[in-house]
Structure 1
Amino acid sequence: MERTERVERRPANDGPKAAARNRAALITAAREIFAEQGLDAPLSAVARSAGVGQGVLYRHFPDRTAVVKAVLEENVRQVEQAAELESTTFADVLGVLTWHLAGSAAFVGLMHADGAAGPSGILAHALALSERVETALRRHLPQGHRLDAGEDLALSVAMVSAAAVGPTREARERRAVAAWRLLGVEVGPVQAFGG
């Protein structure tokens, strides 16, 4: 009697492609989990939501601080990408920023980093990212705009981010848009960059 063995073929290892996909999935999942549960959410929930094991998460991010920094970096990168387009208006860039403020507890924490009780090691990084956000916004800020004077732009972003609270993304978005309106500032479509 001949024994037949079934050999299962494992999918080919995509190497760097898989690593890049996993990292992107982890950042997206972290943004969502942090928005729902706060910055103290279990990292196991982030890994599970990204569809990877905790070992994969820790290969990319050695600790919670690294995960938070990666989310912040990606959020700022998207605001900068929106600002790089010549056809983009100030209101459009504010729409992308507002989308991140409404959807990311980590991003809101960035705007209040000096008083935040989040993971250690975030303050200096957050301050540098805040400067990048302001630089991106100023690229399209019309001369003579009501937020053009002194620290008015940075202060307005901090005020709106403080208003972007609530139990759901929709509630946070409504409050952020209302805060911009109270400041007399027009906001474009509230959406992710490229959305």
Structure 2
Amino acid sequence: MTQHRASEEQRPANEGRKAAARNRAALITAAREIYSECGLDAPLSAIARRAGVGQGVLYRHFPDREAVATAVLEENVRQVEQAAAEGEMDLPRVLGVLTWHLTESAAFIGVLHADGAGSPASVPSYARALSERVERALRAHLPDGHRLAAAADDLMIAVAMVSGAVTGPTREQRERRARAAWRLLGVEVGPVRPFTG
């Protein structure tokens, strides 16, 4: 009886929702890293391992592979929107956040190409919606007369061109190529880093 009580006292308290939110955030971060290293076909077990949780925890938050990828994309877009909403952020800094996500998240690149230029019916509606949110966030910081505002779709064409240049086996190589693409387009980009609020 005494041993039973002692072991109960040593067990950590159940953190419930706090732990669930922490696990979900860890899974999204791990998925972004794993996808960047191995592509979208990476095993979900690798994501769970990187996040430091069991596969059961992963499936509790995300029922399938598509749900994991969608969560990563949603988080990428949310950070770009938050950066754009920040009072002290200008277009170069917001582009720096966008560029960080391009270099870190291969799946994000596909979403930004979801403008339906080829066949709108072939673009999933969630991808089109995420792309439109990124465009709105960037456009809010686009000064009148800026070179990316010359025509209605110039902004997202430039983003697509830069994202097409984001290749290479390391994040540093991908960032160097992205910065070079922005420079060739004559667009200033701020520090390439995530938005931390």
Q: Structure 2 counterpart of 1:34, which letter? A: Y
Per-residue deviation at 1:124?
1.6
Give 3-state SS (helix, strand or coil) of 2:56's partner. helix
Cα separation, partners in 2 of 1:193 and 1:128, compared to 1, 3 Å: same
Q: Give the Cα–Cα distance (whole angstroms) in 1 for the partners of residues 123 and 55 of structure 2.
A: 22
Per-residue deviation at 1:172?
0.6
Task: Select 1:183's aligned residue among 168, 182, 185.
Answer: 185
Is the contact between residue 69 and residue 122 of structure 1 (CA under 8 Å) also seen in structure 2? no
Which residue in 2 is equivalent to 1:174?
Answer: 176
Count of aligned residue pairs for this structure pair: 188
2:124 is the alignment partner of 1:123:
yes
What are the ranges of 5 or more consecutive residues in structure 1 without an aligned counterpart?
116-120
Q: Give the Cα–Cα distance (whole angstroms) in 2 for the partners of residues 32 and 145 of structure 1.
A: 34
Which residue in 2 is equivalent to 1:77?
Answer: 78
Give the 5 Å matches for 1:133-152. 133-148=134-149, 149-152=151-154
Is the contact between residue 29 and residue 47 of structure 1 (CA under 8 Å) also seen in structure 2? yes
Q: Deviations over 1:141-166 (max 9, x none)?
A: 11110001210001111111111111
Q: Deviations over 1:81-117 (max 9, x none)?
A: 00001211100000000000001112122223589xx
Give the 5 Å matches for 1:32-181. 32-113=33-114, 123-148=124-149, 149-181=151-183
Is the contact between residue 65 and residue 122 of structure 1 (CA under 8 Å) also seen in structure 2? no
Is the contact between residue 113 and residue 131 of structure 2 (CA under 8 Å) also seen in structure 1? no
Which residue in 1 is equivalent to 2:195?
Answer: 193
TM-score (norm. length: structure 2) = 0.90
Give the 5 Å matches for 1:20-39. 20-39=21-40
Cα separation, partners in 2 of 1:122 and 1:26, compared to 1, 3 Å: farther
Is the contact between residue 31 and residue 104 of structure 1 (CA under 8 Å) also seen in structure 2? yes
Q: Deviations over 1:33-59 (max 9, x none)?
A: 000000000000000000000000000
Is the contact between residue 32 and residue 104 of structure 1 (CA under 8 Å) also seen in structure 2? yes
Is the contact between residue 97 and residue 192 of structure 2 (CA under 8 Å) also seen in structure 1? yes
Cα separation, partners in 2 of 1:182 and 1:137, compared to 1, 3 Å: same
Q: Structure 2 counterpart of 1:161, which letter? A: S
RMSD (Å), alpha carbons:
1.9
Q: Structure 1 counterpart of 2:80, which letter? A: V
Q: Structure 2 counterpart of 1:58, which letter? A: Y
2:51 is the alignment partner of 1:11:
no
Cα separation, partners in 2 of 1:114 and 1:132, compared to 1, 3 Å: closer
Per-residue deviation at 1:122?
7.8
Normalized per residue, the structure richer in helix is 2
What are the ranges of 5 or more consecutive residues in structure 2 without an aligned counterpart?
117-121
Moved over 6 A (4+): none
Q: Give the Cα–Cα distance (whole angstroms) in 2 for the partners of residues 71 and 154 of structure 1.
A: 20
Q: Give the Cα–Cα distance (whole angstroms) in 2 for the partners of residues 32 and 109 of structure 1.
A: 16
